Structure 1
């Protein structure tokens, strides 16, 4: 099952073969692995990326194409659980991701559009958290603002929701074009990318980590497991509390302009959509209607959820629609809505659990890992994998 984004081939990369020794091996070439390869490109280390399928095959190439700042939960909820300062740091770090994407955009056509976004409150009960989130962003100097239901466009005002939060600078991106750009710059500086190279066994040795595949063995001084939803199955002895869950998405054929030209995140973050510049409407969500059924790593369509997505697309369009494509992707959820970063042992590292917000968190996470791997810098405490021990 291919997504709309995966029509864009992120480069041709041969499979791994034989035996090799490298300084750093990265398992996974989605957002996390691609950003880490990009950040490591200038540090003089020998780096090999092992991807089981093709770059962007997983959730990084099967999402809704959004870039949203802040944590996976509302900023107010993060402040309640982590403290206001840690929540502010997360928001600021993810805002920095936009500057890196814009910098890459000066060299590559990655189809990024900064439009701002709208968070549609899930009802009266969510309004206090939305109001607090607006105040926290404003305290940071971000001109977020609360919008009353009466001010919303027609198609949004008739949906559930008591109010909405406008967040500037958010936007939309073509994820596979970004991954292609990251890997192009990494390979130009000597990073090796191996597609169709699934790691079947991970063995810690006195000299580091030995990664075994069907036709290869890679001995690495350090290995980073960056396979997100698939990471826990690669590391069964570490009991990582990562839950793979399916996200259902569809895209329509081009439509006339909607009455809102920016991403919308609604129903406590479960539903999301945006209209692309070419008129296609991308919609994902409704996982909350079948939470238990949508657990696991099988890439299958859920008929009832896809029907709800179609109904929402018709409502937003206000006219007949034609579905262009339907797909599913596997996200990685953690109990506290934060990723796991850092060493499981001196030679084996993890970067996984991005809770459906990898587009803006993975650039930050990968840069942290680079600094930790190369310079011994500390990992941001709320993201440290040590918290599960």
Structure 2
């Protein structure tokens, strides 16, 4: 028994020790709840600043979205800078953009500094499924270069796109060399190994957080007495802090991994080995693995459940994108929960003076969680200036309350799927 849900990532993970469950009472400076990217990054940053840190993970390190996602490390925020300018103003939008560029650099630096073997590969292609999408992408790339000074985006017409991904489905795209892809579970395991001095506990589900001057965090078999709590559980926050759960929606997304295709076939389909997302609102995403499989993901279950037909849906979408893969064997299929917010912007904040949280990364989690860890550490250390740029972003609860929020969101997503088909 691995303690993980089956997936290609679990089957190809690096060796890692099991961490002991919390037992008895311990005293520390900071208790981090959650052993995904956010919690691990926060623990690492706090330890580097000299704090005593205890991290509690309910399952195994990287068990949730951090160990199951598409592996695409993207900069920026989900809505794009134009939408953020309208929401928060140009000054805040620029500060947020600059920090998201820093976020991708944090990941690259950590991989290099700690020698994390996670199959890092630079390059991301945003592929246009319609000519109108391509025109909008080209305008956006020009704006980002002229206004934000970001010049790592190259506009690719249909012919140029074939140097990166070979599919008749797309009308062009944009290559962003500031992004890339990696093996997410191995990156999470590498962060845990790098967090020297942090007391890491697996199989330590938190059942209660008692707030106060000295918060206490309780599991079934132990208590952590601490000065600060960092809540980094994202889609799993519900029972710990129901108020925070109202601003996020857990969404199940799915990935298939084919049998190894061979180096020649993989390189023919995706010559420059980028990761790729299409331009639909309900998008597909895909990339090559280090052993020359096609990892193809997308779809979404807003009920949070995995349906019996999701693997067939993913196969059909992959075959539509790459017809020669129609009959290829699929070795792995898995799903997992990610969390989204109403405005698709991350939700950072604090409760009282010493309980900090970061959630709602809305599809940009690999880079933004690592940034969140740094900003959380800065805030705990007494400088919350950058953290508060995110914390000031407005967030509304999902409409419909506990009973109707999921049906309302499912209806909205059906409309967006129809728009993707017709626009």
Per the normalisation by structure 1, the TM-score is 0.89
Determine the structure 2 residue equivalent to 1:59: 65
1:328: how far off? 0.5
Pairwise CA distance, 1:38:
1.0
In structure 2, do the counterparts of structure 1 residues 152 and 294 end up closer, same or farther at CA, with 3 Å as the change threshold?
A: same
Q: Find the residue that maps to 1:318 and give its secondary structure.
A: helix
Cα pair distance change 1:23/1:240, threshold 3 Å: farther
Equivalent residue, structure 1, for 2:101: 95
Q: Would you say 1:193 and 2:200 are equivalent positions?
A: yes
Is 1:165 aligned to 2:174, yes or no?
A: yes
Instruction: State the secondary structure of the residue aligned to 1:115.
Output: strand
Kept in 1, the 8 Å contact 2:119–2:290? The answer is no
Can you list the C-alpha shifts for 1:17-49, whole angstroms capped at 9, x where unaligned?
A: 111222110110101001111111122222100
Distance, in Å, in 1 between the alignment partners of 2:392 and 2:90 is: 21
Q: Is the 8 A contact 2:74 2:104 kept in 1?
A: no
**Which of 255, 265, 272 does residue 285 from structure 2 map onto?**
272
Once residues 366 and 245 of structure 2 are traced to their aligned partners in structure 1, the CA distance between those partners, rounded to angstroms, is 25
Find the counterpart in structure 1 of residue 391 from structure 2.
384
Give the corresponding residue for 1:324.
331
- 2:310 corresponds in structure 1 to 305
TM-aligned CA distance change 1:49 to 1:134, over 3 Å: same
Structure 2 unmatched runs, 5+:
397-423
Is structure 2 residue 215 aligned with structure 1 residue 234?
A: no
- Verify the 8 A CA contact 2:167 2:322 in the aligned structure 1: no
Question: Match of 1:136, SS?
Answer: helix
Q: Indicate conservation of the 8 Å contact 2:341/2:395, yes or no.
A: no
Alignment partners' CA distance in 2, 1:283 and 1:91? 28
**Structure 1 residue 345 and structure 2 residue 352: aligned?**
yes
Alignment of 1:98-137 (within 5 A): 98-106=104-112, 107-137=114-144
Aligned pairs, how many?
Answer: 377
- Distance across 2 between alignment mates of 1:361 and 1:103: 14
Give the corresponding residue for 1:5: 9
Question: 5+ unaligned residues in a row in structure 1: which ranges?
Answer: 288-292
Matches within 5 A, 1:136-285: 136-139=143-146, 140-153=149-162, 157-159=167-169, 161-186=170-195, 188=196, 190-205=197-212, 207-238=213-244, 240-255=246-261, 256-257=265-266, 258-260=268-270, 261-266=273-278, 267-268=280-281, 270-285=283-298
Q: Distance in 2 between matches of 1:71 and 1:110?
A: 27
Q: Distance in 1 between matches of 2:145 and 2:312?
A: 38
Which residue does the alignment assign to 2:303? 295
Give 1:371's aligned residue. 378
Q: Deviations over 1:305-343 (max 9, x none)?
A: 321211233342614311111000100101111112231
**Alpha-carbon distance change, 386 to 264 in structure 1, aligned in 2, over 3 angstroms:** closer
Per-residue CA deviations over 1:345-373 (Å, capped at 9, x if unaligned) read 11211111111211011111111111110
Deviation string for 1:43-102 (max 9, x for gaps)?
222210000000100000010111112112344444444444444433332322333333
C-alpha contact 2:230 2:357 (8 A) present in aligned 1: yes
- Please give the alpha-carbon distance, in whole angstroms, between the structure 2 residues aligned to 1:198 and 1:385: 30
